Amino acid sequence: KEGKVGDVEVKEYLVGVMEALIAPFRERRAYYESNPKLVDQIIKEGNDKTRSRVIETLNEVRTNIGFLN
């Protein structure tokens, strides 16, 4: 039994679906690419937040193993 839809038709449809699926990701990438200062700010805030949590955790670990009183 032969198919009614050709390979090219299926591939074109698939490309359309995939393009629609990844379009929001491309838009976000373009937004951040055109706003490098915002990216730097986001990274800095993440680093600061992480650093704070790491310091708290290390102090807790040091206290629990007896390095700090």
User: pTM value?
Assistant: 0.60
Nearest to 29 by CA among 15, 38, 17: 38
Whether 69 shows a pLDDT value over 60: the answer reads no
Calpha distance 38→57 (Å, rounded) = 28
pLDDT, tens only, 1-56: 566 778 899 999 999 999 999 999 999 999 999 999 999 999 999 999 999 999 99
Q: What is the pLDDT of residue 6?
A: 83
Structure-block tokens of residue 13: 């449809």
Name the one residue in this structure whose structure tokens are 């805030």: 45
**Position 14: which residue type?**
L
Residue 5 has a pLDDT of 75
Residue with tokens 């955790």: 57
Q: How many CA atoms are closer than 13 Å to the CA of 29, on its beta-carbon side?
A: 5
Single-letter residue type at 13: Y
pLDDT at 3: 67
